[in-house]
């Protein structure tokens, strides 16, 4: 998902967590990191194409940061794990984490 697509979805009123889930679902479905490359092969920075990062000012107010009480990492440390090992398994772990946040939010 490109930064422009994220902004369009948010502009249409989609929930930032839903946009983040769509992003990570796309990464998983595409088989890994290449889903996040721009037309020049450059990796988008997380804050550029994450629905949560685009809405929340500073990481400390983001629901994905510190959901388990660890306020030092994004997505309970899973984002850093994926960034150091960009594969389907780590992307799926981030997606599962975000889906669990959505389920908690809906209760």
Instruction: Report how far apart the first and last C-alpha atoms of the chain are (Å, whole number).
Output: 28
pLDDT at 71: 58
For residue 96, the model assigns a pLDDT of 94
Low-confidence ranges of the chain (pLDDT < 70): 33-37, 66, 68-73, 76
Among 65, 52, 60, 67, CA closest to 19: 52
Q: What is the pLDDT, as a whole number, of residue 68?
A: 59
The predicted pLDDT at position 34 comes to 58
pLDDT single digits (tens) 21-31: 999 998 898 88
pTM: 0.85
Which sequence spans correspond to the domains of the chain? 3-101
pLDDT value, residue 100: 93
């Amino acid at each position: 998902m490109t930064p422009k697509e994220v902004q369009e979805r948010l502009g249409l009123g989609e929930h930032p967590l839903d946009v983040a889930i769509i992003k990570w679902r796309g990464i998983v479905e595409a088989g890994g990191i290449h889903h996040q490359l721009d037309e020049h092969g450059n990796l988008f920075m997380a804050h550029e194409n994450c629905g949560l990062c685009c809405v929340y000012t500073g990481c400390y107010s983001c629901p994905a940061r510190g959901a388990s009480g660890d306020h030092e990492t994004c997505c309970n440390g899973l984002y850093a794990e994926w960034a150091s090992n960009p594969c389907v398994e780590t992307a799926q772990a981030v997606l599962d984490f975000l889906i669990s946040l959505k389920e908690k939010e809906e209760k």
